[in-house]
Amino acid sequence: MVKKSVLRILLVFVSSSFFTNTLAELRIEITQGLDNATKIAIVPFVWKGKRMPPVKIDEIVSADLTISGRFEAIDQAQMLSYPEEESQVFVRDWRMLGVEYLVFGRIEPDGVMVKLNFEMFDIAKGTTVLSQSILGLPNELRDMAHYVSDQVYKEVTGTEGAFSTEIMYVTVEENADSRLFSLNIADSDGRNVRQILESDEPLLSATWSPDGRFVSYVSFEREGRPAIYLHELKSNNRQVLTSFSGLNGAPAFSPDGKKIALVLSKDGNPDIYIMELQSRKLRRVTRHYGIDTEPSWSADGESIIFTSNRGGQPQIYQLRLEDFQIQRLTFEGDYNAKASLLRDGSALVMVHRREGVFHIAMLDLRNGRLNVLTETSLDESPSVAPNGSLVIYATQYRGEGILATVSVDGLLKFRLPSSSGDVREPAWSPKTKKSFNPLD
Amino acid sequence: MNFHRIQRLLGTGLSAIFLVGCASQEPEYTGPSEPIEESFVEEQTAEPVGPRVESGKLVVSSSDSMGISETLGGIFLFDFDQAVVRRSGHAELDKHASALSGDRYLRARLEGHADERGTREYNLALGERRANAVRAYLVAQGASNSQIEVISYGEEKPFNTMHNESGWAQNRRVEIVYR
């Protein structure tokens, strides 16, 4: 009986993964990694189940760490042995290969669940530095693998990883006389793509609620007119939040998830409004004949960062909601837009034009220093990972729209091309997709 | 039923579809001053009465010679980060305004667009400014606000998908679409 239900779960898993393969996956390519990447060996994990494992945990962990740019995972064919426990580790063999860390593990059925044990061995110290067991459902093996990657990453680098997060983005297929827009969510490694919405009218500005349960976006699906939608991911239920005449754009959830800042031009020109989600009450918070758009919130929810051309060109301003005081934040360059604050409020990430080329830049608000992070062009839509160390953005590569990521220190750079069509409008999920509690 | 019969039955209708098909696939931009279907429209028009709408475009009787009709250019271009109607477009816009003021049942949608440079939401705002500028011009020339709807598509619906200056120049535009 138990066996049957496991089989059924596996079947569902296999068929759903078959379905997702029909959607364009994103492939991650490192364009700039660290010179002194940490050499790590991810040994094939022992699989105690009867059938072949649907996914290979060690391969996912190895790919995750490699595409982080901070690790070099050695080829499994180079390994002299595949240890399953600490007593089987011959330190000298691994030293010879220049390996600094060794990760091995075991997966076995546990009732209807799957139990994963993994350990990390520090070759220099000669001891195990990480050892955990976690339980998950058979269809959560990918998530469990990303969890392992996060633990390894944190142990070695001392900072949180972003492997268990998701990325939402828009793809556009250009046909002879039509365009097909699609809103998708993928795991942060570009796999496991799920489609949220498809439309032959524009879709843009998708953003996550802080708890990751809802998304909001602008869709022109109703007679080619824009409306802001609130969409619950689990149920696929959605509602129109605003569909006024004129612009309905740039939704941004407040940090407590109770409000959405958005842009309407119903009163004459683009201004920023705040909608209380419970009551749907609207409050206008900017009032200027210029363009005010692209609101984002400070982490404390007490101010809003936005783009305005009130000074003649688009620049970034901060609005304090308590007294409506507005302060200009950017002065370098003639086009700064779509800014968001890092969670600690120390810096802005934004689109910045330099010598006619659009880049992603970071402005350190403590010392006023502006750091251009990207060398690509036509860069837009920056979105910061929940760990605060990576920025995903949209750019052009060989004439196609693709996503790319860059670390906030500018040292690591990646491209995420899609197997088909233009990709744009990335939004990094605000928290980990699935967390596992280590067993004692 | 043989092919010739079908051809006779469909006659010019078929060739019209063919012409329009060619027009939409033509990669070269011909601009508002040279409407592609003009020659065909001239042949087909018997006696022009007020303006009429053909696939979103407005066909009016020409002001200089009786009995000849003309399809009005529906695309107006703008400079980067600007929402000022170019002087070169005024003459054509005047014709739209006079058609709109002459027939209060005419309804036009002004679709504002931007090139791909800069951010998407800012470009939506910019596209709206451009469409509003065209609306203000038309209203000043006698059209009524209630006849005109403004929608901005920002950079979402490029006319030309090339990522260069000539592509961008064609994408910074307002299109007048009649319904």
Q: Looking at this predicted complex, what is its ipTM?
A: 0.89
**For B117, which residue in chain A has the nearest alpha carbon?**
A378
- Cβ(B41)–Cβ(B58) below 8 Å: no
Please give the share of chain B, as a percent, with pLDDT higher than 90.
58
Token pair for A347: 């810096």
**A265 belongs to a structural domain:** yes
Q: Which pairing describes strands B108-113 and B173-178: parallel, antiparallel, or unpaired?
A: antiparallel
- Say how many residues make up chain A: 440
| Stretch B142-151: mean pLDDT | 97
**Mean pLDDT, chain B, as a whole number?**
79
Last residue of a domain, one of A125, A157, A189: A157
Note the pLDDT of residue A7.
37
Q: What does the domain layout of chain B look like in residue ranges?
A: 1-30, 73-178
In a domain, A22, yes or no: no
A402/A265 same-domain check: yes
B118 touches chain A (CB under 8 A): yes
Domain end position, chosen among A111, A130, A157: A157
Task: Look at residue A212 and tell me if it is in a domain.
Answer: yes
- Quick check: is A11 in a domain? no
Q: What is the pLDDT of residue B63?
A: 61
> What is the structure's pLDDT at A76?
93
- Say which CATH number the domain at A137 has: 3.40.50.10070
Tens-place pLDDT, residues A201-218 = 999 999 999 999 999 999
Q: Are residues B118 and A226, on separate chains, in Cβ contact within 8 Å?
A: no
**In this structure, is residue A24 part of a structural domain?**
no
Q: Say if B54 is an interface residue toward chain A (CB within 8 Å).
A: no
Mean pLDDT of B121-135: 97
Instruction: Closest CB to B156: pick one of A177, A202, A250.
Output: A202
A382: helix, coil or strand?
A: strand
Give the residue from A359, A366, A412 showing the smallest Cα distance to A385: A412
Tell me if A434 is assigned to some domain: no
Sorted by sequence, the CB contacts under 8 Å of residue A55 that are 6+ apart come out as A141, A142, A145
For the B73-178 domain, the top CATH level (class) is alpha beta
Instruction: Say yes or no to pLDDT of B76 above 70.
Output: yes
How many domains does one find in chain A?
A: 2
Domain finish residue from A134, A157, A180: A157
Indicate if A104 and A172 belong to the same structural domain.
no
Answer whether B117 touches A (CB < 8 Å). yes
- Judge whether A112 lies within some domain: yes
Same domain membership, residue A202 and residue A68: no
The Cα angle at residue B80 between residues B77 and B81, in degrees rounded to 5: 110
Mutate: best of A199, A242, A262, A291, partner B, most B CBs <10 A:
A291
In angstroms, the separation between the Cα of residue A164 and the nearest Cα of chain B is 28
Yes or no, beta carbons of A291 and B152 under 8 Å apart: no
pLDDT at B40 over 60: no
Residue ranges in chain A modelled with pLDDT below 70: 1-22
Task: Strand A370-372: give its sheet, edge to edge.
Answer: A336-341, A347-354, A357-364, A370-372
Chain A residue closest to B131 (CA)?
Answer: A246
* CA nearest to A291 within chain B: B125
Q: Quick check: B123 contacting A, CB < 8 Å? A: no
Q: Under an 8 A CB cutoff, do A247 and B125 touch?
A: yes
Note whether A342 and A278 are same-domain residues: yes
* Residue A140 φ then ψ, to 5°: -110, 15
Element housing B152 (H / E): strand B148-154
User: Given this model, what pLDDT does residue A23 score?
Assistant: 73
The reply to whether B81 touches chain A by the CB within 8 Å rule is yes
Q: Which one-letter DSSP state was computed for residue B13?
A: H
Supply the mean pLDDT for chain A.
91
Q: How far apart (Å, rounded) are the C-alpha atoms in residues A32 and A128?
A: 31
Minimal CA–CA distance to B120: which of A7, A362, A207? A207
Rounded to whole angstroms, how far apart are CA atoms A181 and A217? 13
pLDDT at residue A25 in the model: 82
Residues A178 and A314 in one domain: yes
* A225, A324: one domain: yes
Q: Smallest CA–CA separation between B122 and chain A, in Å?
A: 7
Which domain does A143 fall in, by range?
33-157
CA-to-CA separations, A115 to A111, A112, A414, in angstroms, rounded: 9, 10, 33
Chain B closest CA to A279's CA: distance in Å? Answer: 26
| Residue B173 Cα distances to A28, B50, B76, B141, angstroms | 36, 27, 5, 20
Q: Do A270 and B24 touch (CB under 8 A)?
A: no
pLDDT interval class at B49 (50, 70, 90): low
What CATH number does residue A413 fall under? 2.120.10.30
Inter-chain CB proximity B116 and A378 less than 8 Å: yes
Q: Are A114 and A84 found together in one domain?
A: yes
Q: What pLDDT sits at residue A375?
A: 86
How do residues A4-62 score in pLDDT, each as one tens digit?
444 343 333 333 444 444 577 888 888 888 888 999 999 999 998 777 778 899 999 99
In whole angstroms, what separates CA A52 from the centre of its chain? 30
Task: Tell me the residues of A at the B interface, defined by beta carbons under 8 Å apart.
Answer: 174, 176-177, 179, 202, 204-205, 220, 224-226, 245-247, 249-250, 263, 265, 270, 291, 293-294, 307, 309, 313-314, 335, 337-338, 351, 353, 358, 378, 380-381, 396, 399, 425
What is the SS3 assignment for A411?
Answer: coil
Domain co-membership, A117 together with A266: no
Q: Is A13 within a domain?
A: no
Average pLDDT estimate for B36-53: 55
- Flag if B118 and A380 touch (Cβ within 8 Å): yes
Contacts of B24 in chain A (CB under 8 A): 177
pLDDT of A15: 37
Nearest to B125 among A270, A335, A358 (CB): A270
CA A80 distance to own-chain centroid = 36
Give the model's confidence band at B65: pLDDT under 50 very low, under 70 low, under 90 confident, else very high.
low
Local confidence band at B102 (pLDDT 50, 70, 90 cut-offs): very high
- Of A235, A198, A188, A183, give the one whose Cα is nearest residue A213: A235
